[in-house]
Amino acid sequence: MTSQSDQVQPDPTIAPIEEPAIEPQEAPILRRAVAEFLGSGLLVTVVIGSGIMAQRLSPDDIGLQLLENSTATVFGLAALILIFGPVSGAHFNPVVTLADCVLQRRPYRDAAVYLPVQIIGGIGGAMLANVMFDLPWVTESHKDRSQAHLWIGELVATLGLIVLIFALVRTERTALAGPAVGAYIGAAYWFTSSTSFANPAVTIGRAFSNTFAGIEPASVSGFIIAQLVGGAVGVALIMYFYPARR
């Protein structure tokens, strides 16, 4: 037994030695690619699958169908971001990936991997949703969405998405990304004329399902152009409002 007076007391004039912070290692590119493939695919499955279910549960009420579809998307997207965010960043969206390359200096070789797997994943997600509801694997959508006012809706939806995501990134609040992005997309279902696709991979995937959430192939290019323009404007706004990470 030693008395309290026998114990060595630390010298207050000597600064304690701090252990260096251990930075998390970035996942290997293959692991990140698989995460983006699965996340993008499951996101499209959520969007299309909930749309099919909404049509079957509420066949005579389009407003209720949209409410059901948007609610499922809010929770599904938030969950997917929480699952895959620590692995790949949970982009699930070519516009987000390209914006990340510009704003956060992500290597463009990552984008060369992310973009194809996001698109392929989106198509696979549409096929999965179709077959889960006893439809053919591929059913080409016939829903015309080629009107100019819908393109404006997509521009606004994508612009807002990019500003939200990178405002969180540049102010180091990425822990809020899941609920914040889910909430934004859920709101944009209702305040944009296009019901907020805001994602080229999701747009392409939705062309493979002739259901509530579909878009005909001829309308896809207009949506993607609007999304890219909205993304570019969003990047410019982030560079203006948040010129450097805080």
CA 93 to chain centre: 6
Give the C-alpha separation, 18 to 84, whole Å.
32
Question: Does residue 18 carry a pLDDT above 60?
Answer: no
Question: Does residue 171 carry a pLDDT above 90?
Answer: yes
Cβ atoms within 10 Å, residue 11: 7
* Domain range enclosing 109: 28-241
We report the CATH number of the domain holding residue 79 as 1.20.1080.10
- In the chain, the percentage of residues whose pLDDT exceeds 70 is 89
- Asked if 81 contacts 42 with a C-beta cutoff of 8 angstroms, the reply is no
Q: Give the mean pLDDT of 201-220.
A: 97
- Asked if 114 contacts 36 with a C-beta cutoff of 8 angstroms, the reply is yes
- Is position 12 within any domain? no
Q: Which residue has the tokens 């909930």?
A: 50
- Is position 133 within any domain? yes
Q: Residue 245: which pLDDT band, with cuts at 50, 70 and 90?
A: low
Q: Residue 16: which pLDDT band, with cuts at 50, 70 and 90?
A: very low
- Is position 35 within any domain? yes
* Phi-psi region at 221: left, alpha or beta (left = phi > 0; alpha = psi -120 to 50): alpha
- Is position 246 within any domain? no
Q: Residue 3: which pLDDT band, with cuts at 50, 70 and 90?
A: very low
pLDDT in tens, 60-105: 999 999 999 999 999 999 999 999 999 999 999 999 999 999 999 9
- Is position 2 within any domain? no
- Is position 92 within any domain? yes
Question: Does residue 2 carry a pLDDT above 60?
Answer: no
- Asked if 38 contacts 121 with a C-beta cutoff of 8 angstroms, the reply is yes
Number of structural domains (the chain) is: 1
Question: Does residue 32 carry a pLDDT above 70?
Answer: yes
- Asked if 123 contacts 141 with a C-beta cutoff of 8 angstroms, the reply is no
Q: Residue 189: which pLDDT band, with cuts at 50, 70 and 90?
A: very high
- Is position 106 within any domain? yes
pLDDT at 25: 46
All residues at 6 or more sequence positions from 41 whose CB lies less than 8 Å from its CB, including other chains: 121, 122, 124, 125, 128, 205
The stretches of the chain forming alpha helices (DSSP H) are: 29-57, 62-88, 94-103, 108-132, 148-170, 177-191, 200-206, 217-241
Q: Give the mean pLDDT of 20-39.
A: 78
Q: Give the mean pLDDT of 44-49.
A: 98
The average confidence (pLDDT) of the chain is: 91
- Is position 10 within any domain? no
Q: What one-letter code names the amino acid at 44?
A: V
Angle (nearest 5°) at CA 80 between 128 and 151: 75
Question: Does residue 15 carry a pLDDT above 90?
Answer: no
Question: Does residue 114 carry a pLDDT above 70?
Answer: yes
Give the C-alpha separation, 14 to 192, whole Å.
60
Q: Give the mean pLDDT of 27-52.
A: 97
